[in-house]
A and B are shown apart, each in its own frame.
Chain A
Amino acid sequence: MNVQFKKGVLDLCVLALTAWEDRYGYELAVAISSKFEMAVGSVYPLLNRLTVEGYFSTYLRESPEGPPRKYYKLTPLGHSHLMELVSEWNTFTRAVNELIKDGVEQ
Chain B
Amino acid sequence: MIKEQYLQQLWGQLSKVPEPQRRELMFDYEDHFRIAAEHGRSEEEAARELGDPQVIARELMLSYRVVEAENGGGVVRVSKAVLATVGLGFFNLIFVLGPYIALLGVLLAFWAVSVALGILAAGVMYEGIFGQGIPLLQASFMAMTALGIGMLAGVGTHKLTRSVFKITLKYLRFNSRVMGGRDK
Contact = CB atoms under 8 A, between A and B. Distances in A.
Contact of B180 (A7, A25, A70): A7
A7 B181 contact: yes
Interface string B23-34: 001011101101
Interface residues of B, number: 30
Interface residues of A, number: 31
Given A49-B63, A69-B35, A37 B183 contact: yes
A39 B49 contact: yes
24 contacts: A7-B178, A7-B181, A10-B180, A24-B31, A24-B35, A38-B181, A38-B184, A39-B50, A40-B32, A40-B51, A41-B51, A41-B53, A41-B55, A42-B182, A44-B28, A45-B60, A48-B28, A48-B60, A49-B176, A52-B63, A52-B67, A65-B38, A66-B34, A69-B31
B119 interface: no
Given A26-B31, A52-B63, A3 B36 contact: no
